[in-house]
Amino acid sequence: MPPETRYAKSGDVNIAYQVVGEGPVDLVYVPGWVSHVELAWELPDLVLGFERLASFSRLVLFDKRGTGMSDPVPASELPTLEQRMDDVRAVMDAVGSARAAIFGASEGGNMSMLFAATYPKRTTALCTFGSTAKRIRNDEYPWAPTWEERLEAFAHVERQWTRGLEWDDIAPSLDPAGLAELSRYYRRCASPGAALALMKMNTHVDVRDVLPSIQVPTVVMHRTEDRDAHVEEGRYIAAHIPDARFIEFPGADHSWWTQDRDAILDEVEELVTGIRPAPEPNRVLATVLFTDLVRSTERMSDLGDHDWAELLRRHHTAVRRELERFRGREIDNAGDGFFVIFDGPARAILCAVAIRAVVRELGLELRAGLHTGECELFGDKVAGIAVHIGARVASLAGPDELLVSSTVRDLVSGSGIAFEDRGESDLKGIGTRRLFAVA
């Protein structure tokens, strides 16, 4: 569920904010052009980014004045950088944050740079992504748009805001559905007038002279092929902030959360906490167990739907009781069969034997197959060739038989578990393997 939206008073303007997580450090996220603290939770990729940030910090989200849930401002009165800095201070005061790291994205980056230079005692670190120091080109800063190009952008926004903007330049890695979702989000973040006013305000921003005054630890991040902000702009910013690190990511997305999100947030976490996160392991050695009831269709026909459903419920309960006893992790169950992984082959075999015994007590027969190998982890899912081998082994087991691969037999040597050699068998699509039955 999205966190509760609250309000901080910045002068006469109410600034909407949310707090997520309970980490040991405070992190204020300064969004780009427009935002909406509540609708942002409808974007799955952005939500994953927020959850990651909140895993190591107390994350503070807010909407700049004139956008999202914050008070609107007259389109004729462009908010200044100073006013927007006051908004950040007001939110930090409201949440009781004396010092915080600042993560500014896109347009939010230049305001974050100014805040870090102005309030070093309230800023522990500065991260920027896809940000610019200036928005109109000149001889010293030749990567920004020309004034004529900026005027064309104003007209484009004003003309198309209500009809749906094209966001290929913001996130070209997204498919059409993802781009449509992003377009809907941005169009609901601000009215056409407010969006245009903020765009005009940002056009006149120039923080180049501020950069040498930033003394807090800083990481400047940019994508190589960013179509909205040239990568040289990121390099310029990093070169002019004392001791700043510049990190370049491949890709063309201007939005940080749609491409290489975890790699970007690794850098944020390291700067904010001083600790670089260890990569999550996505491969593990495991023993897979597949079970299947023998002649289940015939039993269902004999018993009828109601009685069969009750028997199946008792079967599932009994199996799960044994899985808990032997530390098996249920991955899936389809109909009357189970797919389970274990961190030890002997424990997996003993569990299969126990399951066979309780299934017999229910008047049912079981077949099962086991194999040990490297598995790939995808969240709650498990995949890899070891899974396919385990399934093939199970398909060759006879009624009341527990078949294992030679790998399993070899790994439990000395355990006292006895086996009967079943010889070589062809596993479809995999090759020939020697199989053994648990005696």
109 and 154 fall within a common domain: yes
Of the candidates 363, 132, 361, 88, which has an alpha carbon nearest to the alpha carbon of residue 232? 132
Of the candidates 90, 102, 96, 105, which has an alpha carbon nearest to the alpha carbon of residue 40? 105
| pLDDT of res. 75 | 66
Q: Which of 64-73, 157-166, 274-283 has the highest mean pLDDT?
A: 64-73
pLDDT at 325 over 90: yes
CATH assignment of the domain containing 243: 3.40.50.1820
44 and 170 fall within a common domain: yes
17 and 67 fall within a common domain: yes
The predicted-structure confidence for 163-182, as pLDDT tens digits, reads as follows 656 667 788 998 888 888 88
The predicted-structure confidence for 7-35, as pLDDT tens digits, reads as follows 999 989 999 999 999 999 999 999 998 99
* Interatomic CA distance for residues 160 and 357, integer angstroms: 69
Domain final residue, candidates 273, 301, 328: 273
Structural domain for 250, as ranges: 6-273
Domain final residue, candidates 273, 304, 324: 273
Domain final residue, candidates 273, 292, 308: 273
Q: How many domains does the chain have?
A: 2
112 and 241 fall within a common domain: yes
The predicted-structure confidence for 256-291, as pLDDT tens digits, reads as follows 999 999 999 999 999 999 876 666 657 778 899 999
- Geometric angle at alpha carbon 89, from 85 and 91, rounded to 5°: 115
* Interatomic CA distance for residues 198 and 204, integer angstroms: 10
258 and 405 fall within a common domain: no
411 and 375 fall within a common domain: yes
Look at 368 and 334; give whichever has higher pLDDT: 368
250 and 397 fall within a common domain: no
CATH assignment of the domain containing 383: 3.30.70.1230
Whole-number mean pLDDT of the chain?
90
| pLDDT of res. 280 | 60
The predicted-structure confidence for 291-320, as pLDDT tens digits, reads as follows 999 888 888 888 888 888 898 899 999 999
Q: Residue 286's beta-bridge partner residues? A: 373
Query: In the predicted model, what is the mean pLDDT of residues 241-269?
Result: 94
Long-range Cβ contact pairs of 273-276 (< 8 A, separation 24 or more): 273/24, 273/25, 273/56, 273/57
The predicted-structure confidence for 412-423, as pLDDT tens digits, reads as follows 887 889 999 999
> For the chain, what percentages of helix, strand and coil (3-state, to nearest 5) are there?
40, 25, 35
Instruction: Please give the full DSSP string across 262-316, using - where no structure is assigned.
Output: HHHHHHHHHHHHS-PPPPPP-EEEEEEEEEEETTHHHHHHHH-HHHHHHHHHHHH
CA separation, residue 414 to residues 344, 410, 411 (Å): 14, 9, 9
pLDDT at 200 over 90: no
* Interatomic CA distance for residues 217 and 99, integer angstroms: 14
Query: In the predicted model, what is the mean pLDDT of residues 144-156?
Result: 89
| pLDDT of res. 57 | 96
Task: Specify the pTM.
Answer: 0.67
* Interatomic CA distance for residues 273 and 405, integer angstroms: 46
290 and 251 fall within a common domain: no
* Interatomic CA distance for residues 372 and 393, integer angstroms: 11
* Interatomic CA distance for residues 169 and 178, integer angstroms: 13
Cβ 244 vs Cβ 125: under 8 Å: no
Q: Which residue has the tokens 């053994």?
A: 436
